[in-house]
Amino acid sequence: MELTLWTYEGPPHVGAMRVASSMKDIHYVLHAPQGDTYADLLFTMIERRGQRPPVTYTTFQARDLGGDTAELVKRNITEAVERFKPKTLLVGESCTAELIQDQPGALAKGMGFDIPIVNLELPAYSKKENWGASETFYQIIRTLLKYKPNEIEKINPQRWKSLGRRPKVNILGPTLLGFRCRDDVIEIQRILSEQGIDTNVVAPLSSSPDDITRLTDADINICLYHEIAETSCEWLKRNYGMEYTTTIPIGIKNTINFINEVHEKLDLPLTNKKELEHKSKLPWYSKSIDSNYLTGKRVFIFGDGTHVISAAKIAKDELGFEVVGLGTYSREMARQVRAAAKDLNIEALITNSYLEVEDAMKKASPELVLGTQMERHSAKRLGIPCSVISTPMHVQDVPARYSPQMGWEGANVIFDDWVHPLMMGLEEHLIDMFKHDFEFVDGHQSHLGHTATKGPENKEDEHEPSNVSIQKKGSVLWTDSGKAELTKVPFFVRGKVKSNTEKYALSKGLPEISDETLYDAKAYFS
């Protein structure tokens, strides 16, 4: 039993819903009680979808449990097939139905429908949302390709040459409620078509069962989100020899690496290498002297595996930040995230507890947090600027404008989204300096949310680390001169300076901290 106040991922059947809702001509009969219908609002409210998710909930009640719940399942399946006429039916159960063991998938298969039926067994008490999405996608591909005779022994990625057509690829992994998937797909397709590469199928997003049966027409697969598509890509490789790319095209370096990887696999000469350097504004913006102040900014990163690994690389290599914390809630990607952290000489934080993340954030005293919406809230409480880089999704993460994370435009978006909160941070510093001037209007803390007046979320326990009582810790006492000097330190490093100075004073056995001690400590640590 695990005490959970908030969770980064939903249950696995929500992952299945993400795949089902992303696709066309598909319906999902979910053996579940009425409360589970809450999941619909994730799609209709967060994604602002104008259609209901294609899901029928069997809605069993306590009084049904003594009777025949299997009959209830069958009735719902019959009605759903008649009403929605899907080309493929998914059948599964949520946590409660798993306990009563009606085996709805097996029931459905015995009902004599002439459409493919995908039996989803998603263990609700050990697995989570992303796993559920990945497993569902994989089971759909397996089931649908089984209906298609295997004409090809092994797909040669270079076969396009002998077939006399342009190379074509599948883009696998984008789903609804995935971070900026909608726009990433557009960006990646644009990049590929510039290189003369066609897209065969994008899936699950906007694909139909018919599209899934055409997957083997492509020369290679592009695994866009490992969390969702890696299992499927592996299976396609094992069974059809289809190669797949592993580079995630987020950031300039990895977009170029991605393009190279695609070209190598297809054996397609890359003709416009030089041009690629100028596709995004990020390299120049990062080099321009205005960005000097970004050097060595301490950044703390937490989110899903795909986005944190990419973010760490961009932060370090493309913006010149120092990564002081890296972690993920994606246990399936713990190994990769640990390796990325090791390269940065830090230890990865693998956890599903946002309070642990908040503690780690506090200890790392970063100047910028890149995280999920939850880290945005934690950072806000700590007075640290934050940019959101990962699911779980919030209505703000589905912007009206084109806003990818991948490719050239993705790099532009990332530069703006990560650097602007820091600008605001500087602005805040100015406010700090000038707050005693008569022009100053209280409440103008622009990076802390979008309103000048403090919203309800600020009330709970908002405080700046710099304001914590100065004499609280141990035996070290701050003298008046020490305190005065500390207040002159810019707010965004004040917390760090304070703890370093105390650490220094303790290590030297000093009874109190004066302004001179502060400078001694500064010299000691620099």
Partner 1 sequence: MSNVDFNKETGPREVFCGLTSIVWLHRRMPDAFFLVVGSRTCAHLIQSAAGVMIFAEPRFGTAILEEKDLAGLADAHEELDRVVNDLISRRPEIKTLFLVGSCPSEVIKLDLATVAEKLNTRFLGQVRFVNYSGSGIETTFTQGEDGALKALLPLMESTDDEKLLLVGTIANNVEDRFKKIFNNIGITNVESFPPRQSTELPKIGKNTKVLLTQPYLSDTARDLKHRGCEIIQAPFPLGVEGSTKWVLAAADAFKIPELKVHEVIAPLANRARQALEKHTEILRGKKLFLLPESQLEISLARFLHNECEMELVEVGTPYLNKDLMEQELNLLPDDTKIVEGQHVEKQLDRVRASNPDLVVCGMGLANPLEAEGISTKWSIEMVFSPIHGIDQAADLAELFSRPLKRNQILTSKSLATF
Which letter, b or e, does each residue of 400-417 get, where b requires 16 or more Cβ atoms within 10 Å of its Cβ? eeebbbbbbbbbbbbbbe
Q: Would you state the structure tokens that stand for residue 466, as one six-digit string?
A: 């710099």
Find the part of the chain contacting partner 1 (CB under 8 A) among 39-47, 162-170, 181-189, 477-485.
39-47
Find the part of the chain contacting partner 1 (CB under 8 A) among 7-15, 202-210, 214-222, 315-323.
7-15
Report CA dihedral (89, 90, 94, 96) to the nearest 10 degrees: 50
Contact 486, 497 (CB under 8 A): yes
Give how many residues touch partner 1 by CB under 8 A: 60
ω into residue 392 within 30 of 0, thus cis?
yes
Residue 392 Cβ vs partner 1, minimum distance, rounded to whole Å: 9
Residues in 278-307 at the binding interface with partner 1, rule: CB under 8 A: none
Candidate residues 78, 87, 96, 334; the one interacting with partner 1 per rule CB under 8 A:
96
Contact 364, 325 (CB under 8 A): yes
441 binds partner 1 (CB under 8 A): no
**Of 134, 36, 43, residue with least CA distance to 94:** 36
Nearest-Å Rg of the Cα atoms of the chain is 26
Residue 142 Cβ vs partner 1, minimum distance, rounded to whole Å: 25
Q: CA–CA separation, 204 vs 211, rounded Å?
A: 9
6 binds partner 1 (CB under 8 A): yes
Candidate residues 21, 22, 76, 405; the one interacting with partner 1 per rule CB under 8 A:
76
35 binds partner 1 (CB under 8 A): yes
95 binds partner 1 (CB under 8 A): yes
Which residues, in sequence order, are bridge partners of residue 221? 170, 244
Find the part of the chain contacting partner 1 (CB under 8 A) among 44-52, 162-170, 186-194, 410-418.
44-52
User: DSSP 3-state assignment of 446?
Assistant: coil
Residues in 358-387 at the binding interface with partner 1, rule: CB under 8 A: 373-374, 377, 381
Find the part of the chain contacting partner 1 (CB under 8 A) among 27-35, 189-197, 280-288, 510-518.
27-35
180 binds partner 1 (CB under 8 A): no
User: DSSP 3-state assignment of 423?
Assistant: helix
339 binds partner 1 (CB under 8 A): no
Residue 137 Cβ vs partner 1, minimum distance, rounded to whole Å: 20
7 binds partner 1 (CB under 8 A): yes
Contact 328, 353 (CB under 8 A): no
**Of 364, 375, 250, residue with least CA distance to 302:** 375
34 binds partner 1 (CB under 8 A): yes
Which residues, in sequence order, are bridge partners of residue 302? 327
Find the part of the chain contacting partner 1 (CB under 8 A) among 53-61, 310-318, 421-429, 494-502.
53-61
Give Cα separations from 155 to 21, 219, 236, 258, 284 (angstroms).
Answer: 30, 7, 10, 21, 41
400 binds partner 1 (CB under 8 A): no
Residues in 132-151 at the binding interface with partner 1, rule: CB under 8 A: none
- The backbone torsions φ and ψ at residue 130, rounded to the nearest 5 degrees and listed phi first, read -65, -40
Q: CA–CA separation, 299 vs 419, rounded Å?
A: 11
Candidate residues 17, 26, 60, 177; the one interacting with partner 1 per rule CB under 8 A:
60
Candidate residues 21, 22, 58, 232; the one interacting with partner 1 per rule CB under 8 A:
58
196 binds partner 1 (CB under 8 A): no
Q: Which of 68, 267, 290, 343 is catalytic?
A: 290
Residue 290 annotated among the catalytic residues of the structure: yes
Candidate residues 51, 292, 453, 471; the one interacting with partner 1 per rule CB under 8 A:
51
Amino acid at 200: N
ω into residue 511 within 30 of 0, thus cis?
no
CB nearer to partner 1: give 39 or 212: 39
Q: CA–CA separation, 316 vs 366, rounded Å?
A: 14
Strands (E), 12-102: 26-31, 55-57, 88-93
Residue 309 Cβ vs partner 1, minimum distance, rounded to whole Å: 24
User: DSSP 3-state assignment of 203?
Assistant: strand
- The backbone torsions φ and ψ at residue 477, rounded to the nearest 5 degrees and listed phi first, read -110, 135
CB nearer to partner 1: give 66 or 474: 66
Q: For 225, which DSSP code?
A: -
18 binds partner 1 (CB under 8 A): no
Which letter, b or e, does each residue of 162-193 get, where b requires 16 or more Cβ atoms within 10 Å of its Cβ? eeeeebbbbbbbbbbbbbbbbbbbbbbbebbe
Residue 464 Cβ vs partner 1, minimum distance, rounded to whole Å: 14
Residue 103 Cβ vs partner 1, minimum distance, rounded to whole Å: 16
Q: Which residue is it, tokens 């642990």?
A: 356
451 binds partner 1 (CB under 8 A): no
Find the part of the chain contacting partner 1 (CB under 8 A) among 75-83, 220-228, 246-254, 413-421.
75-83
CB nearer to partner 1: give 312 or 393: 393
CA 252 vs. chain centroid, Å, equals 18
Candidate residues 62, 289, 441, 523; the one interacting with partner 1 per rule CB under 8 A:
62
- Which positions are annotated as active-site residues? 290
* Binding footprint of partner 1 on the chain (CB under 8 A): 1-7, 9-11, 13-14, 33-42, 44-45, 48-52, 56-62, 64-65, 76, 79, 83, 94-96, 99-100, 123-126, 128, 355, 373-374, 377, 381, 456-457, 460-461
